[in-house]
Amino acid sequence: MKLYSINTGYFKLDGGAMFGVVPKTIWNKINPADENNLCPWALRCLLIEDGNRLILIDNGNGDKQDAKFWSHYHLHGDDTLDKSLTKYGFSKNDITDVILTHLHFDHCGGSIIRDGDNLLPAFKNATYWSNLEHWNWAVFPNEREKASFLKENILPIEESGRLKFVEVAEKEADKLGETVFSENISLRFVNGHTQAMMLPQIKYNNKTVVFMADLLPSAGHIPLPYVMGYDMFPLTTLNEKKSFLKEALENNYNLFFEHDPVNECCNLQQTERGIRPKDFFTLAEIQ
């Protein structure tokens, strides 16, 4: 098995929305904002080469929306999905599976491309994986979350016939529910950010790597009160973070961050202030 970090660019989001109730005087030291209160964030995906399968976890924003839409998010950087795949000798046609942690546009926008008047799968040989609980949440969205679930990113996946669902695992005591995806990959489920978001957990070089999606979008979100204003159920997120961080510390998990603009991975340590990052490193440095 091999893991590859796939950078698809950067975008900007409001710092207050990203750090919730934490005051700007504190969070601005973590990820400094520009004059419009916007902070840069990565769009970092994960590619897993596992036997005869090439599995991509999330796929960034895509490029289907118009200039007015993107003017709110200030896309920047030279990285793209295609360039990052090519760097490792792959193309979109090589992808066999796409695991979508959830269906917000910055996680699944690259799933579908626009070809004239047609919306087609970007990964024409891949199976797309979601779960029915989250799929229904996204297809019939609440008013607060509706702007993040773009139908042009979602419905064409089902229409293509390439969509499959995994079973949602029930939570066990104080541990998040876990469903087996393959011999080396399991899926954890959390409900604070959005309903039934999936966190892939990978056995790699006798270690465990967890793709944090939006439970912990960055290392700056590890302290318990640092919960995004975007989360549907903030107290659920807080409790899910508390449970996961305890488990991750005890088992020395390596956390892989999708949105941290600087840090790709870290492990954890117990401090007087609670659980905090210990060492920062890249995916390539996990041996």
Which CATH number do you get for residue 54?
3.60.15.10
Structure tokens at 245: 């961080």
pLDDT at 173: 55
pLDDT at 242: 97
Q: For 47-72, what is the mean pLDDT?
A: 94
Q: To the nearest whole percent, how much of the chain has pLDDT over 90? A: 92
pLDDT at 176: 67
Express each pLDDT in 208-257 by its tens digit.
Answer: 999 999 999 999 999 999 999 999 999 999 999 999 999 999 999 999 99
Express each pLDDT in 63-100 by its tens digit.
Answer: 898 889 989 999 999 999 999 999 999 999 999 999 99
The answer, yes or no, to whether residue 119 has pLDDT greater than 90, is yes
How many domains in the chain? Answer: 1
Express each pLDDT in 137-186 by its tens digit.
Answer: 999 999 999 999 999 999 999 999 999 999 887 766 566 668 999 999 99
Q: For 21-33, what is the mean pLDDT?
A: 97
pLDDT at 168: 84
Range of the domain at 158: 2-285
Q: What is the pTM of this model?
A: 0.95
